[in-house]
Structure 1
Amino acid sequence: MLIAFNKPYGVLCQFTDRSTPPRPTLAGFGLPPDVYPAGRLDHDSEGLLLLTDDGALAHRLTDPRHKQPKTYLVQVEGEPQPAQLEALRRGVELTDGPTRPAQARRVDAPPLWPRDPPVRFRKTVPDAWLEIIITEGRNRQVRRMTAAVGLPTLRLVRVAIGAHRLGELAPGAWRRLDA
């Protein structure tokens, strides 16, 4: 079984949380039993999370050797310059080593659902949207990449993993996919 889930902002990619007070987890969304996340999204990131009950499928979806492209819409602070986009395309140096080259381009603001809480707005600081496609999945990688080129991330929404797309799935909703 393969499930596409639109993970809302502030939800942990696990089914339990032992912190006090407890934070929202996947347990609150009526997902089928015995599925688990194939990969992760940080609690402050949104969008497509795949869940499965098939360990081999989870491995194919998440192992960097399979180079599954992951597509993100990223709202950044600042006005992206050609050199910054080119740096993302070449790969940037992070504290844990260089990233693989990414696809990166500026896009119009996408028609996304409102985020709760909203992204901070400052009249004196412009923001822009990028589409970034990576083929690895390090901890907070896209956020660290945009920060490394001087474009801090304000909002991060994963819209695709390989051929699997988020589509019109509302935050907190899920659907079964063909594996």
Structure 2
Amino acid sequence: MRDRHLLFYKPYDVLTQFTDAASEGGASRRTLKDYIDVPDVYPVGRLDRDSEGLLLLSNNGRLQHQLSDPKFQHPRTYWVQVERIPTEADLIPLRQGLVIQDYRTRPAKAELLVEEPSLPPRDPPIRFRKNVPTAWLEITLTEGRNRQVRRMTAAIGFPTLRLVRVAIATLTLTGLELGQWRDLTSEEMTTLRKACKI
């Protein structure tokens, strides 16, 4: 079986799995099966149901391990809409690493975006509060624990309203529409293999 590597622009409210075991007897939730009809590929890492953005799927176990295991420190970049507008000083704990739950995060790159990124509207839209401004951050992690970005922004007092992953290692959302997938190009694959040393 030849290797397959897919990029998918995951919409909000889609589970990062092909089946929904919890839906038996209840309302069914959207899964990857609603968008991708390629057999035997599996998500590399997770993206929460209430998050959007880039998801890599592969049938290559070695590549999955390299990109998923935090010890390899492959970067993941997110655009994060938060409540209120953080200052440079507010972002320092993200850049230094902070304690959330029972662990200390690795230092992250964190920048305030000057302009709102060009993204498709979220369905449903985030809650709008007239008296509470929002801002967009770009955060790059080299680890990916459960709900880590949300916990990090909450810990510094700026709750996450919308979270979109825009890059995994050398791969980006560029050229993908919401809900669309495509195979990696040979050039993307070569660059990714170099980054993963495989």
In structure 2, C-alpha distance between the alignment counterparts of 1:96 and 1:12, rounded to whole Å: 26
Q: 2:121 aligns with which of 105, 114, 126?
A: 114
| Displacement after TM superposition at 1:88 (Å) | 0.8
Could you list the runs of 5+ residues in structure 2 that have no partner in the other structure? 190-198
In structure 2, C-alpha distance between the alignment counterparts of 1:123 and 1:49, rounded to whole Å: 33
- Partner SS for 2:152: helix
Write the letter of the residue equivalent to 1:7: K
CA RMSD of aligned residues (A): 0.9
Q: 1:15 aligns with which of 15, 18, 25?
A: 18
In structure 2, C-alpha distance between the alignment counterparts of 1:153 and 1:21, rounded to whole Å: 27
2:192 is aligned to none
Q: 2:47 aligns with which of 41, 44, 50?
A: 41
> Once the two structures are aligned, what percentage of the paired residues are identical?
59
Q: Contact 1:13/1:43 (CA < 8 Å) preserved in 2?
A: yes
1:130 is aligned to 137
- Partner SS for 2:183: strand
Q: 2:101 aligns with which of 95, 100, 109?
A: 95
Give the alignment's TM-score, normalised by structure 2. 0.88
Write the letter of the residue equivalent to 2:6: I
> Structure 1: which 4+ aligned runs deviate by more than 6 Å?
none
In structure 2, C-alpha distance between the alignment counterparts of 1:176 and 1:71, rounded to whole Å: 20
| Displacement after TM superposition at 1:96 (Å) | 2.2
Asked if residue 66 in structure 1 is aligned to residue 66 in structure 2, the reply is no
Q: Deviations over 1:54-113 (max 9, x none)?
A: 111100111111101000000000110222111110111101211000000000200000
Asked if residue 29 in structure 1 is aligned to residue 35 in structure 2, the reply is yes
Give the alignment's TM-score, normalised by structure 1. 0.97
1:166 is aligned to 173
Could you list the runs of 5+ residues in structure 1 that have no partner in the other structure? none
| Displacement after TM superposition at 1:170 (Å) | 1.1
| Displacement after TM superposition at 1:31 (Å) | 3.4
In structure 1, C-alpha distance between the alignment counterparts of 2:173 and 2:61, rounded to whole Å: 22
- Partner SS for 1:72: strand
| Displacement after TM superposition at 1:174 (Å) | 0.5
* Structure with larger Rg: 2
Paired residues, number: 179
Structure with a larger share of its residues in helix? 2
